Amino acid sequence: MILHLLAEPSARTNQLLVAADGNVTVRLKAPPQEGQANAVLLGFLAEVFDTSKSRVVLMSGHTAPFKKVELLDVDESQCAEVLARHRTP
C-alpha cells in the first residue's frame, strides 16, 4: 500500500491526522535534521499500522515535507480502517 502524506516535524507529540478530503498529515516530535524526522516517521507509521519498521519504506520526499511511503504488509482495507480511526472532524 502506498501512502502519500505531509510530515510536520517539531510537533509536541507524534500524531496521525486525516482531513475530511482524505489528506494525511503526520505530526512528529523529532526535528527535521539529519534524517531524524524521517526515522521517527517510519517508526510511528509502523506502530500505527501494526507492522514492523522494516516493512515501512520511504519512497520519496527524503528532504521534503510531502512524502510517499510504502507499507509493505498493509492492504487497502487495513489502511482504510486505520485512516478512518484518525479522521479529524
User: Which amino acid would we find at residue 50?
Assistant: D
pLDDT of res. 50: 96
Distance CA 33, CA 22 (A): 28
Residue pLDDT, tens place only, 4-60: 999 999 999 999 999 999 999 999 999 999 999 999 999 999 999 999 999 999 999
Q: Which three cell numbers stand for residue 57?
A: 519504506
Long-range pairs, 17-23, Cβ under 8 A, ≥24: 17/86, 17/88, 18/83, 18/84, 18/86, 18/87, 18/88, 19/87, 19/88, 20/87, 20/88, 20/89, 22/83
Band of pLDDT at residue 61, cut at 50, 70 and 90: very high
Domain range for 77: 2-85
Q: What does pTM read for this prediction?
A: 0.94
Number of compact structural domains in the chain: 1
Please answer whether residues 3 and 69 qualify as being in contact, where contact means their C-beta atoms are separated by less than 8 angstroms: yes
